[in-house]
Amino acid sequence: MGSMRYKSAAMQRVQDLVRRGYVRWTAGVVPREKAARLTAKFAARYGTAADRHERRRRRRHGAGNGFLVVYLPPRQPHAVWWLLVDDDHPAQHYEALRDAREVRITMPNPYWCPEVWREDYELVRLDDRWTWRMVEARRTEWQARLREAVRQPNRDTRHLQVRQAVYSLRKLPGFRGVRQDAHGLIRLLKSDWKRVRHKAEPLPATPRLPPYVRRIKHE
């Protein structure tokens, strides 16, 4: 599988692999021009590009299987990658692997500089199901953004910032945990607006939850 252009597709792929038992992982950032070389290296070393027949053979012989997920946003200078393997894979002897059940896999913001690993989402188990949700720092930023927008003294600026925030909420990747975060932010916006602006000024936009992520067919 080649590099993925869309964040939700990469997140779904990682989530599906962890759900299927590929819980040992490591990750990193690589310059865009080196992404293909990285993919070839992991394919040769760990069999990440093996077809289903080769994976079945490796499983029969207890050799384990692994996958490489590469997220390469358009027009960005760096790619993010995750190597995910099962408990039998020999990569555990050569890589500093972590366990997704103990150390959470994260998705960084694509508009970062390579020196700053700015996490946006984390893979967690909610009600015994794997899903993505915002990291605490992002939830806190969202809460501050909404409160600041509601309290803008200028009416036009206030309405503009609220509409922009509502639009951005709808664009969040619609995983179950993220939708729960969005639901909490919508309740905060509505209650804060009602308390600060009273009934004299209607909320200038109708907040809705982000749509569920569409299923993408993987191997």
Per-residue pLDDT reduced to its tens digit, 14-41: 999 999 999 999 999 899 999 999 999 9
Same domain, residue pair 90 and 111: yes
Task: Give the Cα separation of 108 and 80 in Å (integer).
Answer: 8
**Alpha carbon of 16 to those of 31, 45, 118, 129, 150: distances in Å?**
26, 23, 23, 11, 38
50: containing domain? 7-134
Residue written as tokens 């366990």?
99
Task: Give the Cα separation of 12 and 78 in Å (integer).
Answer: 20
Q: Which own/partner pairs from 118-121 qualify as long-range (CB within 8 Å, at least 24 positions apart)?
A: 121/11, 121/173, 121/175, 121/178
- Reported as a pLDDT band with limits 50, 70 and 90, residue 108 is confident
pLDDT (mean) for 86-104: 94
Share of residues in the chain with pLDDT > 70 (%): 94
Same domain, residue pair 22 and 47: yes
- Reported as a pLDDT band with limits 50, 70 and 90, residue 77 is confident
Same domain, residue pair 87 and 30: yes
Q: Flag whether pLDDT at 150 surpasses 70.
A: yes
Same domain, residue pair 18 and 123: yes
Q: Calculate Rg over the CA atoms of the chain.
A: 20
Structural domain contains residue 216: no
Same domain, residue pair 123 and 187: no
Same domain, residue pair 107 and 48: yes
What's the pTM?
0.91
Structural domain contains residue 169: yes
Structural domain contains residue 215: no
Structural domain contains residue 207: no
Domain count, the chain: 2
Structural domain contains residue 217: no
pLDDT (mean) for 128-142: 96
- Domain termination residue (choose one: 108, 134, 160): 134
Structural domain contains residue 141: yes
Same domain, residue pair 121 and 23: yes
Same domain, residue pair 190 and 142: yes
- Domain termination residue (choose one: 134, 157, 183): 134
Same domain, residue pair 140 and 127: no
Structural domain contains residue 113: yes
Whole-number pLDDT of residue 219: 53
Q: Flag whether pLDDT at 105 surpasses 60.
A: yes
- Domain termination residue (choose one: 117, 134, 151): 134
Q: Flag whether pLDDT at 139 surpasses 90.
A: yes
Note the residue count of the chain. Answer: 219
Same domain, residue pair 120 and 174: no
Structural domain contains residue 180: yes
Same domain, residue pair 186 and 126: no
* Cα 62–chain centre separation: 31
Q: Flag whether pLDDT at 1 surpasses 70.
A: no
Same domain, residue pair 65 and 104: yes
